[in-house]
Amino acid sequence: MKDIEIAMSETNNKFCALILCMKKVLTYYVTSYSMWYVYQKSDKYILLSDSYIREFLSFTRVKKATKLVVITNPITIPYIEEYEKILSYKRKEIIYVGRIDYNQKRVYRVIEVWKLLEKKYPDWKLIIIGDGEEKSKLEEQSFQLGLKRIVFEGFKNPLEYYKYASLLILTSEYEGFPLVIPEGMAWGVVPCVYGSYSAVYDIVKDDVNGIIIEPQKDEFDAENMAERMSLLMCDNVRLKLMAKAAKQMSNQYSLDVVSDSWYKLFV
């Protein structure tokens, strides 16, 4: 549906806009009915986050949530339990981990934020881990902006980057359950995220274990995110406290906890 919305925003042809609008409405009702039908035929229906219960009921018009069960995705990467040991690895690094595209991830927003931070914090750097259709375009954008301390690593195992990073930035237009957030938190990486989807509020507690930038009139505010991140980048005590809280929060997404939820479902 997001593809249709993007196409609607880019067309100046009234006829095309009308067709796209009809397509959007049809897609909405077909998807809603499909989910309702599957729910009716199921014994249990799994959602990835608590906040999606309300959204599911609203979208499908299901009356009661008796079949809905919330089971999150688990953290499957290796990580160290001892917070103090994790802390000893940390560097002044911000990471983005994920696909590089426009539709969902909107990584150009990460570049916008970094443009506001790079000169102010000469001892920090930004590392982009991932690949996708927008990668070369963003590399060119970074060059044109004269950004020096930004590295595009391509598709890599993010484990070593979690180990050394202090902050993780995610500016997606929408997500389901972004596993990179709890994965990073397990390594004491403080998430700085755009609150464009409800599940992020179940994972991140603003100013406790991370930062959430809420949409302003449905728009991303790069200056606000840069300002909020700046407060952490210049306050190591606060950064460490939030990293510890992030590490503690990640425990509820451990493989043991999530596998136990699946076990209880089938017992």
**% of the chain at pLDDT higher than 70:** 98
Coil, strand or helix: which one is 179?
Answer: coil
Give phi and psi for 101, each to the nearest 5.
Answer: -140, 170
Mean pLDDT of the chain: 93
Task: Decide if pLDDT at 163 tops 80.
Answer: yes
Distance CA 151, CA 83 (A): 27
CA distance to 139, 140, 202, per residue, from 168 (Å): 19, 22, 17
- pLDDT bracket for residue 1 (50, 70, 90): low
Lowest mean pLDDT among 14-18, 40-44, 119-123, 179-183: 14-18
Q: Is beta strand 190-194 parallel, antiparallel or unpaired with respect to 167-170?
A: parallel
Span 182-217, pLDDT tens digits: 999 999 999 999 999 999 999 999 999 999 999 988
Q: Where are the chain's structural domains?
A: 2-70, 83-253
pLDDT tier, 21 (very low <50, low <70, confident <90, very high otherwise): confident
The more confident residue out of 42 and 1 is: 42
| Of 255 and 5, more confident | 255
The predicted-structure confidence for 118-146, as pLDDT tens digits, reads as follows 999 999 999 999 999 999 999 999 999 99
The mean per-residue pLDDT over the stretch 29-50 comes to 95
CA distances to 46, 97, 134, 157, 180 from 131, rounded to whole Å, are 30, 9, 8, 12, 15
Provide the CA 105 distance to its chain's centre, in angstroms: 8
Residue 167 contacts residue 240 (beta carbons within 8 Å): no
Calpha distance 212→194 (Å, rounded): 6
Tell me the two tokens of residue 197.
Answer: 């989807």
**Above 70 in pLDDT, residue 240?**
yes
The predicted model gives 38-47 an average pLDDT of 96
Residue 122: both structure tokens together: 């000469």
What's the rounded Cα separation, in Å, for the pair 229 and 166?
11
Query: Span 80-97, mean pLDDT?
Result: 94
Q: Which residue has the tokens 């451990």?
A: 254
Residue 9's pLDDT is 74
Rounded Cα distance between 109 and 38, Å, is 37
Class of domain 83-253: alpha beta
- pLDDT bin (cut points 50, 70, 90) of residue 2 is low
Q: How far is CA 258 from CA 71, 75, 197, 244, in A?
A: 7, 9, 22, 21
- Do the Cβ atoms of 129 and 168 come closer than 8 Å? no
Give the model's confidence band at 24: pLDDT under 50 very low, under 70 low, under 90 confident, else very high.
Answer: confident
